[in-house]
Structure 1
């Protein structure tokens, strides 16, 4: 099987209402981080068919583990705090194929 993308990355951008009892990724700058990742992938020449696609997603149901992204085809789950974490995921995993263990969920 020849996948259309080497890596397909989904950022949870779910927004919950103020009455929600569970946290949500949107309150952790998820939209900003998704846009930043998309920009970095383009800057590094990784964007497009055969390479990397950065996508928005609804709830990925990992709310209590912080803002989340999942990288396919491996199904590697990450959490992050800021742009430096996104840089590390992009440069280590998407550019060099090495999982960032310190940010990985379900290690």
Structure 2
């Protein structure tokens, strides 16, 4: 409306939107999904960042990842473990939280 040269206020726009049955969109609060591990730099990288598949090394090197999907009931976290050589899923698990089985929050690393 302002681009068209009309003067308008927040309440006027809110009233027009209510009359038209419109609601505004708002940004959702960002959720913290990763907790930094202060000891990660001191641990050796056993894979040495080499994720190329080696057909002779089936079952020797695995790679894991955690992702989440928003659902109507909340977030669903999916953890997967994949064999690097065969690229097959070795294991997976879902949960509505990012805690390990002992109840502690997991640290990334």
After TM superposition, the score normalised by the length of structure 1 is 0.30
Greater relative contact order (Cα < 8 A, sep 6+): 1
Larger radius of gyration between Structure 1 and Structure 2: 2
